[in-house]
Chain A
Amino acid sequence: MKEKLGAGLRKQGSPYSDTECEDIIRKLEAMLDGDQDVTQDKDFMEKVNNCEYCLEQYEIEKSFKELVKAKLRGLVVSNSLIQSIKSKLSLHRD
């Protein structure tokens, strides 16, 4: 039997093949992560800077990274945990 996987949404206008797109996205992610292997890759950086599609994709990846960070922060550490740890460590000092 045949089953569809991963079908669905795709923006028109990419000048690249699926494999090329995949590689570009991987590198854009690494670039946003501060990976110097990518930021020092002059050919790639030039390609991105001269490609509207890549720049749009860069913005998507950037927004996604910021979204994850913003939405998953904000947990509060209980004072009782801090006190409990300090108390156990203080005991060791006696």
Chain B
Amino acid sequence: MIPDETMSPAEKAEIDAFFESEMMVHIRPLYHFAFRLTNDEDDANDLVQDTFLKAYRFIKSFERGSNAKAWLFRILKNSFINNYRKNSKEPSQIDYEEAENFLNTGISSWSESIDLRDKLFRGLVGDEITNALNLLPVDFKTVIILCDIEEFSYEEIAKITDIPVGTVRSRLHRARKLLKDQLAEYARKMGYSTEDELVDIPALETEIE
């Protein structure tokens, strides 16, 4: 767990100081990310701890002056994929393929429901958003967290998730569409919509054999 066994005490002291000031300061957003991915406090704690221990071990590979937060997020994301994803306490998610098929149909039930917005937003609390987010496939959930909560740029998200910027763009759009539909569905169930404000559009019909 020591970055380099041959380093001098002075070098190690410098690295330790750097680690505390440049890496440890990101513990809060890292914990947020870990908790949103795992849905479990203990798993999130373990994941964050693993991330910092790995970061410390490989601190010499970190390019000083580059984005430390993005570097840590990338380590955490990879640790999650490798160690936690299979065991995480996720609720049953929307099937990825099903989600893709639905999204490819091109119509979101949210996007044009302008007057619904205020009613919906007033009625929603954190739990509904969290539940809706948790229903998303993990790759979709990840880009929403990185973009909307942590405010990483598309380029940073691309580096963290190892996907091209163009894929970040399209994945975000699709993820939001799914999330909006989940929330719109919730709003309908709670009676936030009213018939006179909205009109039916021709139902999108898909042939299912």
Residues 60-85 of A, flagged 1 when their CB comes within 8 A of B and 0 if not, give 10011101110111110110011011
Say whether A35 contacts B154, CB under 8 Å: yes
Say whether B52 contacts A89, CB under 8 Å: yes
**How many residues of chain B have a CB within 8 Å of chain A?**
70
Say whether A57 contacts B125, CB under 8 Å: no
Alpha-carbon distance A78/B48, docked complex (angstroms): 11
**How many residues of chain A have a CB within 8 Å of chain B?**
50
Residues B175-203 near A (CB distance < 8 A):
176, 179-181, 184, 188, 193, 198-203
Residues A1-37 near B (CB distance < 8 A):
1-12, 14, 18-19, 21-22, 25-26, 29-30, 33-35
Q: Given B1, B109, B129, which contacts A67 in the complex, CB threshold below 8 Å?
A: B129
Interface: A93 (CB within 8 A): yes
Say whether B129 contacts A72, CB under 8 Å: yes
Q: Given B2, B112, B179, which contacts A92 in the complex, CB threshold below 8 Å?
A: B2
Chain A residues proximal to chain B, CB less than 8 Å: 1-12, 14, 18-19, 21-22, 25-26, 29-30, 33-35, 56-57, 59-60, 63-65, 67-69, 71-75, 77-78, 81-82, 84-86, 88-89, 92-93
Which of A8, A11, A68, A86 has the most B CB atoms < 10 Å from its CB?
Answer: A8
Contact A30 B130, CB 8 Å, known A1-B208, A65-B148, A89-B52: no
Interface: B111 (CB within 8 A): yes
Interface of A is mostly: helix
A6 CB, nearest partner CB in chain B, Å:
4
Residues B30-48 near A (CB distance < 8 A):
31-32, 35-36, 45, 48
Say whether A89 contacts B56, CB under 8 Å: yes
